[in-house]
Amino acid sequence: MSRQNIWIPRATFGATAVLAVLLGACGSDPHPGTRDMPSDMPPDMPPSEPLTSSENTCLESPAPRGTARSLVTFNVVFTYGGKPVIFGEPFAVPTGTLTLTNLRFFASNFALLTAAGESVPVDLVGADGVPVSYNTQLVNPEDPTGMTFRVAAPAGEYAGASFIFGLNDACDFQNPSSSRPPLTQTSQLTWPQPFGFLFLRYAATLVRASGTTGDGPPTQIDMGGFPGALFAPRVQAVGGVQVDAVASNAVVMNMALDESFRASEMPIEPTPPPAFPPPPGITFQNGESLRQNASKVAIFSLTPAN
Amino acid sequence: MRVSRLAVGLVALVSGCAAAGEPAADRLTISIAPAGYPAAPIDNDALPGTPLAEARAHLGRRLFFDPRLSRTGGIACATCHRPDHGFADLDAVSAGVDGRRGTRNAPALVNLAWTEHLFWDGRVPTLEQQSTMPIENPDEMDLPLAEAIARVNADPAYGRAFADAYAGVDSETALRRSLATFIRSLVSGQSPYDRFLRGDNTALLPGARRGMQMFFSDKAGCFHCHPSGPLTNDGFFNNGSYVTGGDVGRSAITGRSGDLGKFKVPGLRNVAATGPYMHDGSVATLQDAIEQYARGGRGGPNTDAVIVPLLLTEDDKADLVAFLRALTDDRFLNDPRYP
């Protein structure tokens, strides 16, 4: 048996195959990508399209862009209903209480957005200002440092940020056994194949309140793609970012869980079927739906740091 | 693959550097990373394979097998971490001094050079911090560290060994580092699965091959926590072993209710030799472990979302067990360097 025989398509690809069959004759949102986009945001790269070659790189030690750069610290906060939630502690949802037990994702290929709609690529850097490996951040509340990251950007005023909610395609091809963190097995975002990663892994415990009916929020989402075929979405985070050349700069990046859940339950566009037997399951459908729809809703936003 | 080549290159560079006085066959720290692992981490100021690292690892081995590090003089680290059982114990929970029992199963000490969390609840991040905690634990060796150091210092043979391995380093640091260096040297990477990963297509028998395919499939879903290569993601999950009122695991460390019943995901090299299983040793055999997962755990609260009843046939279960048995590294279990 060759290694190919134990290759399994990642969640979303397999689910897509099922859904391509199931939904092939079904209608979908006639105006995808327009319904929920913030009106003040410039258009950006749509999901599921390959990046330009200059963006689609995955270097262990990337070179910095330019020299006139100031550090901006992003502190990630999970929210639900507009209020912060604490990882690992219960919070109220319409059907009861939800407790996050795992929520981690890759964020890469950052850019800041000007009010005029210009996208300014920036480096993800460490505290020392040196670009981090693969220009990729693993957002991970279980790591004391995993909810803070920094970018090095030209001074100026910006209207928001943009990033790949996952990995670019070049990084999706990386072998976790021969890569540096965060592209390793300990990211908990690998899948059983020689290369390829999940983009997001989410798990939660839902304790239903008595008397509630209907589906609660999802309790598991695995969002992935397929190297060379199905790509991570590029998403935007609306909100002002002031980058001062001298003073320290910080901003809060909110991740709205309710919007993430909504995106994970929106219609899915059929995609070409793979040549693999697909795994079934709502987990994968949620992941593929999130992948396809993350850029259509306002999952991320920026607010000033206190 | 660049990192792996670096590891091979490192081994080549240091292959002639056995510690002074140590026969080449007794080298401890020269090893290549098992298949699917990153290159071996560098051990602080002593490169694996160098005479200094060898001296420290040999000292650590002597300490590991020395019962004088317990209050009664009858319990060594190796009493509960038995080399022929993958440095795990046959008892569900080990017997410490005066027959005292703790609450958790002695974990296998293998390939820990790659881990970032020690103990079932991950309470410490380094082997240097971990290595002396069982010495002081009242249910294990029950010896104050100062007394352990005094006993070691009273032995002239130890004195010479410490002088060779650590110039100007305080005794406590030297003790910690020696034990840590030895434990870090316990590398197992010669199982049939390792050979398969290195390209030997004859290494796995048909049942084990089918079991591997099942292991990495969504039908069984083992890979969610035990990814290919290391077979651990080094994370913490409630795998369905927790029951209400039981050991709360990671939650006691983080204070988060969402961590209730979470325990560290162990690597699975030599798992057939390290039973009983789970954090409390409550699962006797590999077959029982498969059955527990097939049932979707024990039904306790906060069980992870991936732990659900599985549609496994009896053949599927047998194949999974066959695969788990193919993770046995007989050379490691019978290694004469670990008496």
Contact yes or no for B93/B246 (Cβ under 8 A): no
- The C-alpha atoms of residue B172 and residue B323 are separated, in whole angstroms, by 42
Closest among B314, B303, B311 to B220, alpha carbons compared: B311
Alpha helices per DSSP H over B15-76: 51-64
pLDDT band at B38 (very low <50, low <70, confident <90, very high): confident
CB nearest to A188's CB, from B209, B212, B235: B235
Residue A43 token pair: 């258009």
A178/chain B closest Cα distance in angstroms: 5
How many other CB atoms are found less than 10 A from the CB of residue A216?
19
> For residue range B113-156, what is the model confidence (pLDDT) as tens digits?
999 899 999 999 999 999 999 999 999 999 999 999 999 999 99
Quick one: pLDDT at residue B339? Answer: 83
- The C-alpha atoms of residue B339 and residue B331 are separated, in whole angstroms, by 13
Whether the predicted pLDDT of B49 surpasses 90: no
Quick one: pLDDT at residue A273? Answer: 57
Question: What average pLDDT score do residues A38-51 get?
Answer: 46
CB nearest to A178's CB, from B4, B230, B301: B4
> For residue range A2-28, what is the model confidence (pLDDT) as tens digits?
322 222 334 443 333 333 322 222 223
pLDDT band at B186 (very low <50, low <70, confident <90, very high): very high
CB nearest to A6's CB, from B213, B238, B304: B213
Question: What average pLDDT score do residues A21-37 get?
Answer: 30
Whether the predicted pLDDT of B31 surpasses 70: no
Question: What average pLDDT score do residues A285-306 get?
Answer: 94
B97/chain A closest Cα distance in angstroms: 35
Whether the predicted pLDDT of A209 surpasses 80: yes
> For residue range A103-138, what is the model confidence (pLDDT) as tens digits?
999 999 999 999 999 999 999 999 899 999 999 999
| DSSP-derived 3-state class of residue B259 | helix
Whether the predicted pLDDT of A68 surpasses 60: yes
> How much is the mean pLDDT over chain B?
90
> For residue range A185-205, what is the model confidence (pLDDT) as tens digits?
999 999 876 557 999 999 999
Residue A139: strand pairing partners = A105
Quick one: pLDDT at residue B328? Answer: 98
Contact yes or no for A73/A150 (Cβ under 8 A): yes
Question: What average pLDDT score do residues B69-86 get?
Answer: 97
Interface probe, candidates B42, B228, B253, B268, chain A, greatest A C-beta count within 10 A:
B228
Give the lowest-confidence range in A143-147, A279-283, B85-89, B262-266: A279-283
Question: What average pLDDT score do residues B270-296 get?
Answer: 98
> How much is the mean pLDDT over chain A?
81
Quick one: pLDDT at residue B242? Answer: 97
> For residue range B216-229, what is the model confidence (pLDDT) as tens digits?
988 999 999 999 99
Give Cβ neighbours of residue B248 (< 8 Å, ≥ 6 apart). B242, B260, B261
Quick one: pLDDT at residue A6? Answer: 26
* Chain mean position to CA B200: 25
The nearest alpha carbon in chain A to B229 belongs to A177
> For residue range A53-66, what is the model confidence (pLDDT) as tens digits?
667 899 999 999 87
* Interface predicted TM-score (ipTM): 0.85
Closest among A4, A124, A137 to A69, alpha carbons compared: A124
Whether the predicted pLDDT of B246 surpasses 90: yes
- Looking up tokens 């070049």, which residue turns up? A170
Whether the predicted pLDDT of A289 surpasses 70: yes
Give Cβ neighbours of residue B79 (< 8 Å, ≥ 6 apart). B67, B94
The nearest alpha carbon in chain A to B302 belongs to A205
Whether the predicted pLDDT of A46 surpasses 80: no
Looking at beta carbons, which pairs linking A50-58 to residues 24 or more positions away fall under 8 Å?
A50/A169, A50/A231, A51/A109, A51/A168, A51/A169, A51/A231, A55/A109, A55/A121, A55/A168, A56/A168, A56/A169, A56/A170, A57/A168, A57/A170, A58/A134, A58/A167, A58/A168, A58/A170, A58/A171, A58/A173, A58/A174
Task: Please measure the distance between the N-terminal and C-terminal CA atoms of chain A and give it in whole angstroms.
Answer: 58
- The C-alpha atoms of residue A281 and residue B41 are separated, in whole angstroms, by 39
- The C-alpha atoms of residue B20 and residue A231 are separated, in whole angstroms, by 55
A14/chain B closest Cα distance in angstroms: 11
Residue A250 token pair: 């910080």
Q: Which residues of A touch B227 (CB under 8 A)?
A: 176, 185, 190, 192
Amino acid at A305: A
Phi–psi pair at A11, nearest 5 degrees: -50, -55
